[in-house]
Structure 1
Amino acid sequence: MMGRVTQLSKLSRLTHAENAIDGRLDAECLSGSCAHTQLQSDPWWRVDLLAVHKVTSITVTNREDCCPWRQDAAEILIGNSLKHNGNSNPQCAVIFP
């Protein structure tokens, strides 16, 4: 996937936002293929697809080695607004266990 990504923070030097769209399927966090924020309230990760696209599906993969509940209630918002840090975009899904 091509795009420009950013996230609120990163857990370690291995957990860059870009890792989430690198095409690798390894879900071991410390392998360098996962994006991960620090433990904080209201963390976020965002991708700019660099052009207008019709989004028909999204796949979110949690890290395999720990903490599956950390994505519980995560909201998927899709749109082109950065107002309120992107939170003004329509909610398309919520991740439930």
Structure 2
Amino acid sequence: MPWKEPWCSAVESEAVVDPSEGLGMTLKELHELLGEPTDFMISSRSERQPMIWRYGEIEYHFGPSGRVWLVYTEDDDGNPRVLGLRLAEG
């Protein structure tokens, strides 16, 4: 089966959203764009803010500033694929 862009199934809306549009967004801004995440992860029990929001196969990683710095996924074989990267915080 050919590999397809994961955001095609990750976002359930009429409009297709390019995952890199989330770069630099806050939790609130990403929620307004994509809705509730299908899963989330925090770095430790003491952390209150999620560090990663997942929408289907797409992961949005939040940095210390509270903004998305990495958009990531893996193909069916587990090979990593960076969909967007923000080098500077702020």
TM-score (norm 1): 0.31
Q: With CA pairs under 8 Å and 6+ residues apart, which has the higher RCO, 1 or 2?
A: 2
Q: Which structure's residues are more often strand, by fraction? A: 2
